[in-house]
Amino acid sequence: MKIRTLSSLSLFAVAACLLASPLFAQDFDESKWGTNSPGVELRAIEGPRSHDAGGTVLTYNLAGKGFPPDLKYSLWGWIPGHKPQKAIDGVSFDKSGVVVCSGKPGFCTGQGVDDPINIKTTAVLGEPKRFAVVSDDGRVAGFAEAVPFPIQATDKSCKLSAIRQSPLAEMVLVHATGFVPYEMLNVSGHVGGLDASHSPTVSPDGTWQAMLGTKAAGQDSGTATIKVTGQQCSVSITFNWGEGSAKEQ
């Protein structure tokens, strides 16, 4: 069974003839997104990439652990700039943990018994693909995220990345890993049309992250640069924001 997101900026578009119930949106508490229920895991597994006129076509399957088998679930997606949206009612897991349409009464129907749900999509640079599987009673939820075309740089054990939080990268999540725990970093760059510097402290697990606005006043597009320097390594990234930055890869 296939789900296709028509572009990186669109919501899920589903072949409704394959579903037991139609596609519809429903409110989701965004503050709870990303918090797995105790003992629950969800992974996004990328399949082979292909190409068409719209760019690189990505294929994902979802696989879970710890989800109670006797519950009915829904598949959700969340694209930057939109609210989370329910894509399919009545999904379940096969014996190997893959999210499927079982074809059983009350569950979604694919092209056969336990038909794996293949999510087809495209993406722009730094765009996250965010998925959730949530039980109908809302008590069990698992979340997965993939960034197929990351904005990132590495130096030795350190990595710096920026993940879009808005369609035109006017807001990004900057994430640094591999630094010395508790060390003070030197964070500098050109964001929001201004040169800036900051000296945050690294977390006990060697990471640091921050939400940054990149838009410069009076401008529709531009370039942001962020550099993070620690005791053992230094990494920097440069990326475009605003009009023209959301080109599908």
Which tens digits make up the pLDDT trace of 181-191?
999 999 999 99
Q: What is the mean pLDDT of residues 12-26?
A: 35
CA 54 to CA 51: how far, in whole Å? 8
pLDDT level of residue 134 (50, 70, 90 thresholds): very high
Percent of the chain with pLDDT over 70: 89
* Residue 56: other Cβ atoms inside 10 A: 15
pLDDT level of residue 237 (50, 70, 90 thresholds): very high
With 0-12 CB in 10 A as exposed, 13-18 as middle and 19+ as buried, what is 69?
Answer: exposed
Q: pTM for this one?
A: 0.85
Mean pLDDT of the chain: 89
Q: Which domains does the chain have, with CATH numbers?
A: 2-146 (2.60.40), 151-242 (2.60.40.1930)
Which tens digits make up the pLDDT trace of 169-182?
999 999 999 999 99
